[in-house]
Amino acid sequence: MRYRLLDAQGDYSFGHGQSDFLINTPETVAQAVKTRMLLWLGEWFLDTRDGTDWNNSVLGKYTEATRDAVIRERILDTPGVNSILTYSSNFDGNTRRFNVTVAIDTIYGIVPNWQLSLPTAK
């Protein structure tokens, strides 16, 4: 499994040869999870059915019953993921952010503390 490394701003890294890639490591799978999670449903023109349904199933009103299942399924459907070892999520009303922390078992080892934080309102 090979993924181009993302920089701190989430852009592809270029100009450093092979060090611009993650290859066959737990971090490779973690980046695959991240890019899948950050793809919004309908965003990719080649397959508008792919993506995370953030608007209706995760960040919208009354999504408490669906959001964790949607996120878990999206993680588990990522190539290289064997299982979710631990999962927690919370909504921070002060910052208006939805936060997820997961430990993921991958085909290359464990990603112990993968995190995602998204704003719920502008």
Residue 121: predicted pLDDT: 58
User: Can you give the residue ranges of every domain in the chain?
Assistant: 2-119
Both tokens of residue 61? 């009103």
Both tokens of residue 66? 């669906």
Mean pLDDT of the chain: 91
CATH fold for the domain made of 2-119: Nuclear Transport Factor 2; Chain: A, (3.10.450)
Q: Is the pLDDT of residue 122 over 70?
A: no
pLDDT mean over 23-50 = 93
Task: Write the burial class of residue 119 (CB in 10 Å: 0-12 exposed, 13-18 middle, 19+ buried).
Answer: exposed
Residue 4: predicted pLDDT: 92
User: Per-residue confidence at 48, pLDDT binned at 50, 70, 90?
Assistant: very high
d(CA 7, CA 120): 24
pLDDT tens digits, 100-119: 999 999 999 999 999 988 87
